[in-house]
A and B are shown apart, each in its own frame.
Chain A
Amino acid sequence: MTHATETLILGLLTGGVYALLASGLTLIFGVMNIINVAHGALLVLAGLLTFELWRRLGLDPIASAVVTTPVMFAVGWAIYRLFVARIRTAPVSMTVLLTFALAITLEGAMGLTWKNVFRSVTPGYVNQSFHLGPFFFPKAQVFGCLAAVAVLSGLWLLLTRTWAGRAIRAASQNPQGSALVGVDIRGVAALTFAIGVATTGAGGSILSVLYPLFPASHYLWISRLLGIVVLGGMGSLPGAVVGALILGVAEAFTATYVSTRWATVVFYLVILVVLLVRPQGLMGSRLRGDVVT
């Protein structure tokens, strides 16, 4: 029983962080119908930047989210203007290929800069846990989860309480209608993409202290994130949170009671089953291009 409860605790803590990581991906998809396959690579990039900050300045990694988030915002803006804007109207497969190309390019650039070596950020609390009875709550996981919740709340407030957020949501539902009421669609697209990538700043900083990072690890992250976003419903932020918690726990339980080897299969199976049976996921709106036949 203790074992199962501890597994649940670990799964929830992990899921909380996953929620932040997936939020940007689902936002970008919801508004722009673009699957940003480079999201994993951007996370790793942010994590490695955090590593540099920690290595050179001794900055606490979770706190350095304050730095990495604006940096990644700028990176996202640049990526949008330089690359994505050109092919906004292209078919989905082309945008997937472009973001894939971006992911590979980032992997190469990170390999050049940081070498293909595992990088870990190890502040004092990285090996410590809070103990409550027979249960342990790893400190890094707890701090990371709290930070993730904070950032997600900020994102939610941004989307629901600010004009920019409303513009983003309007543009996602009806681009032409929004344009007619004065929303600058192109600007909103750039803003959304940039915000989506900015979440990888905070997410990457948190990741850096939880897991060792390696340029090629982005494949694993994007697999997980795609699974979460598909389950939650592409475009739905609450869906991403729910999907992340469910899959975080599912992954933990599979790793514990079946085998760690089959833990990632959970994400792939979710992708297959959900997209075939209920493409809009748990909380998403019906995907465009739904098949009648």
Chain B
Amino acid sequence: MARDRWKLGWAVAVLVLIGSACSGGGGGQSSGESKEPITIGASLPLTGEFSQPGGAAKRGYDVWAEMVNEKGGILGRQVKLTILDDASEQNTVVADYNRLITRDKVDLLLGTFSSLLNLPASAVAERNRMVYVEPAGGAPAMFERGFHYLFFAQQATAPHQADVFVDWVKSLPAGQRPKTAAYPTQDDPFAKPVIDTMRKALEAAGVKTVYATVYPPETTNFDTIANTIKARNPDLVAQGAVFEDGVGLVRSLIKAGFSPQTLFQTSAPSNSDQYAKGVGEANTEGVFYTVSWSPEATYPLNQDFVRRYQQKYNQVPEEDAADAFAAAQVLQAGVKAVGEIDQDKIADWLHANKVDTILGPLSWDETGAPQSDFLLAQWQGGKSEIVLPKDVATTDNVVLPKPDWKQS
């Protein structure tokens, strides 16, 4: 028992010495030199629970860096990305951003994926007074802390993501409007607020809620939920889905033999190839969803982005990749407008101005929450079409009611 203390003492002393030596070595590059690259640091969930969107976000950042550097970089300096893997874990993302800021001493930061990770990470950035533009993380909690340096690079926060759909429903003539609705949603900090706000708004507009349920994220069997939906027979089914659960519920509805007049799902239908494969292309017809980005939208640079992405990765970009690209665009705009790397000036400018991105124009209130609307999309003829807003709509047609399932 006495010897363990001896052993430990040596081990700890050695480790501490090594630790100090390591920390001494890793000095970052000094910023401010005129032709030195601008270093931008970010952590992403490249492994773990969020690795799929994390990987897409990384590709988005990489494409942005490539395109920017070809055009001469920002302020005449090339940009250099340092991306760390936080393994979808909160402890790690805090350590990662601490490291980027204090050890690698990056000039600028970009955010990570998911509110769960962005919440602690943005606190690190705010404590260090660095601008933090995040591509994904619209949960209301993000914006309730009075942060000044935080900016969310999508058009609206989670509770307002489906406002465009609600407005559309309210605009329908009485005969076509749904009278009853069911709201199954995943217990996800991003998807759930969307459905919660939608439900309240539609109830206020006279749409009766016949069924509402929250299911845990690991749910893979939707037969019982589909069974209940069938029993209650709603006109509208609005699901707070992430991805696999969106596909899962559709499959279960097909098995149960129930097809609602209108089907709305968050996120899931935006994963075009996988969604179509998952539910069967014919069954995508008429499904509504809101999305922050569309490959067909004609916002500036969007088509270039899509082309470049396809060239590099041989696939159509994912929404998460586009959101990452947009976040980087926001940061770029701020730096360019201010003319130097000054976090406070950049933050002030972004609060006061609009930025054109591939998602459309973005602007923020004082908490960093964006002020515009998502795009309302619908699957028609095996393709996603933008229905609203009108200025980027790809079709005037709206499919209503949703046709029945093609296999039963």
A interface residues (Cβ-Cβ under 8 A, vs B): 2-3, 6-7, 10, 14, 111, 115-118, 120, 122, 126-129, 131, 136, 138-139, 141, 210-212, 214, 216-217, 219-220, 252, 255-256, 259-261, 264
B55 — nearest CB in chain A belongs to which residue?
A115
Is there an interface contact between B49 and A128, defined as CB atoms closer than 8 Å? no
Q: Any chain A CB within 8 A of the CB of B219?
A: yes
B-side contacts of A129, CB under 8 Å: 255-257, 408
Q: Any chain A CB within 8 A of the CB of B91?
A: no
Is there an interface contact between B227 and A3, defined as CB atoms closer than 8 Å? yes
B-side contacts of A127, CB under 8 Å: 251, 254-255, 280, 405, 407
A-side contacts of B405, CB under 8 Å: 127
Near A by CB (< 8 A), chain B positions 199-231 give: 213-216, 218-221, 223-225, 227-228, 231
How far, in Å, is A226 (CB) from chain B's closest CB? 15
B48 — nearest CB in chain A belongs to which residue?
A116
Give A8 to B91 CA distance when docked, in angstroms.
Answer: 43
Give A219 to B220 CA distance when docked, in angstroms.
Answer: 13
Give A122 to B254 CA distance when docked, in angstroms.
Answer: 14
Give A10 to B255 CA distance when docked, in angstroms.
Answer: 12
Q: What are 18 A-B residue pairs whose CB atoms fall within 8 Å in the complex?
A: A10-B223, A10-B227, A111-B47, A116-B47, A127-B251, A127-B280, A127-B405, A128-B255, A129-B255, A211-B220, A212-B244, A212-B247, A214-B244, A216-B49, A260-B214, A260-B215, A260-B225, A261-B187
Is there an interface contact between B257 and A131, defined as CB atoms closer than 8 Å? yes
A-side contacts of B248, CB under 8 Å: 212
A137 — nearest CB in chain B belongs to which residue?
B255
How many residues belonging to B are interface residues under a CB distance threshold of 8 Å?
Answer: 36
A129 — nearest CB in chain B belongs to which residue?
B255
Given A7-B224, A10-B224, A259-B214: A116 and B49 interface contact (C-beta under 8 Å)? yes
A-side contacts of B256, CB under 8 Å: 129, 136
A124 — nearest CB in chain B belongs to which residue?
B407
Give A183 to B218 CA distance when docked, in angstroms.
Answer: 44
Q: Is the interface of A mostly helix, strand, loop or mixed?
A: helix
Given A117-B52, A136-B257, A260-B225, list of 18 further CB < 8 A pairs?
A: A3-B227, A111-B47, A115-B51, A120-B247, A122-B278, A126-B251, A128-B254, A129-B257, A136-B256, A212-B247, A212-B248, A214-B244, A217-B218, A219-B218, A260-B216, A261-B187, A261-B214, A261-B215
Q: Which of B218, B228, B280 contacts A256 (CB 8 A)?
A: B228
Give A210 to B223 CA distance when docked, in angstroms.
Answer: 10
Is there an interface contact between A261 and B216, defined as CB atoms closer than 8 Å? yes
Q: Any chain A CB within 8 A of the CB of B243?
A: yes
A117 — nearest CB in chain B belongs to which residue?
B52
Is there an interface contact between B225 and A116, defined as CB atoms closer than 8 Å? no
How far, in Å, is A118 (CB) from chain B's closest CB? 4
B253 — nearest CB in chain A belongs to which residue?
A127
A-side contacts of B187, CB under 8 Å: 261
Q: Which of A136, A255, A264 contacts B224 (CB 8 A)?
A: A255
Is there an interface contact between B213 and A260, defined as CB atoms closer than 8 Å? yes
B-side contacts of A3, CB under 8 Å: 227-228, 231
A14 — nearest CB in chain B belongs to which residue?
B221
A10 — nearest CB in chain B belongs to which residue?
B223
Q: Which of A116, A126, A210, A264 contacts B51 (CB 8 A)?
A: A116
A-side contacts of B255, CB under 8 Å: 127-129, 136, 138-139
Q: Which of A7, A141, A264 contacts B216 (CB 8 A)?
A: A264
Give A120 to B246 CA distance when docked, in angstroms.
Answer: 13
Give A219 to B252 CA distance when docked, in angstroms.
Answer: 23
B-side contacts of A138, CB under 8 Å: 223, 252, 255
Give A127 to B226 CA distance when docked, in angstroms.
Answer: 13
Given A128-B407, A136-B256: A118 and B223 interface contact (C-beta under 8 Å)? no
Is there an interface contact between A212 and B220, defined as CB atoms closer than 8 Å? yes
How far, in Å, is B265 (CB) from chain A's closest CB? 15
Q: Which of A117, A122, A139, A260 contacts B219 (CB 8 A)?
A: A260
Is there an interface contact between A217 and B220, defined as CB atoms closer than 8 Å? yes
B223 — nearest CB in chain A belongs to which residue?
A10
User: Interface digits, B22-61 against A, CB 8 Å rule (1 contact, 0 not)?
Assistant: 0000000000000000000000000111011000000000
Is there an interface contact between B227 and A220, defined as CB atoms closer than 8 Å? no
Give A217 to B217 CA distance when docked, in angstroms.
Answer: 10
